[in-house]
Copies of this chain bind each other. A is one copy, B any other.
Amino acid sequence: MQIVKDEGPITGEQIAERLNLTRATLRPDLAILTMSGFLDARPRVGYFYSGKSGNQLLGEHLSKLMVRDYKSVPVVCQDEMSVYDAICTMFLEDVGTLFVVKEGGILTGVLSRKDLLKSSMGNQALQNIPVGVAMTRMPNIVTCGLEETLLTAATKLIRNQVDALPVVKEPEKGDGLEVVGRITKTTITKVFVEMGQGTSV
């Protein structure tokens, strides 16, 4: 690999010469390095370094996982609901984030445990605070689409320091974004565990 990195494009024959090996001896190794993506080969040109490390190849594997296939069911509420009832809903549904929607499932806000804790620090009774006051509101919401990769979604989670993303699509009629799923840090952690067990994909 070092030879190809330094001198590529270089033919198999030239590499064999440099290593004092016959081409036949070398052929399986070059085949492995080519098939596994570390080297590229072009007929009548020779081998050259693909610039991809083992980790990049792992990355390519990961980039085949799609939001569409891993999203879970969204738990939604309306913006007149009280913060108190929203906390109850969270416990009942066992989720860490609620999506606030209006008619047609159109996204208007996101309500995280953090938002609810912030409300609970005030002096007002939680029964009297509507969700609409506590939530993060459109257009300040980070979303993801069905055709995005899980990797893009995970990157958004980390960059924007949020626990969950609503998965959205264009509604059949009208404006806005329709909520069709959710991707959370739990989703990503589950995929990580599945990959380790060799059962993913």
Q: Does A172 contact B (CB under 8 A)?
A: no
Q: Does A133 contact B (CB under 8 A)?
A: no
Contacts of A43 in B (CB 8 A): none
A189 and B157: CB pair below 8 A? Answer: yes
Which one of B87, B116, B201 contacts A55 once the chains associate, using CB atoms below 8 Å?
B201
Interface of chain A: mostly helix, strand, loop or mixed: helix
Q: Does A2 contact B (CB under 8 A)?
A: no
| Most chain B CB within a 10 A radius of its CB, from A52, A96, A151, A189 | A189
B113 and A59: CB pair below 8 A? Answer: no
Cα–Cα distance between A24 and B151 once the two chains are bound (Å): 41
Interface residue tally of chain A, by bracket? 35 or more
Which one of B88, B158, B196, B198 contacts A186 once the chains associate, using CB atoms below 8 Å?
B158
Q: Does A21 contact B (CB under 8 A)?
A: no
Q: Does A200 contact B (CB under 8 A)?
A: yes
Cα–Cα distance between A114 and B121 once the two chains are bound (Å): 15
Contacts A31-B29, A58-B198, A121-B126: A193 and B113 contacting too (C-beta < 8 A)? no
A–B complex contacts, Cβ < 8 Å, 15 sampled: A58-B58, A62-B195, A84-B121, A91-B117, A96-B113, A117-B117, A151-B192, A151-B193, A151-B196, A154-B196, A155-B193, A157-B189, A185-B188, A185-B189, A188-B192
Residues of A bordering B, CB below 8 Å: 24, 27-29, 31-32, 35-36, 52-53, 55-56, 58-59, 61-63, 84, 87-88, 90-91, 94, 96, 113-114, 116-118, 120-121, 126, 151, 154-155, 157-158, 161, 163, 185-186, 188-193, 195-201
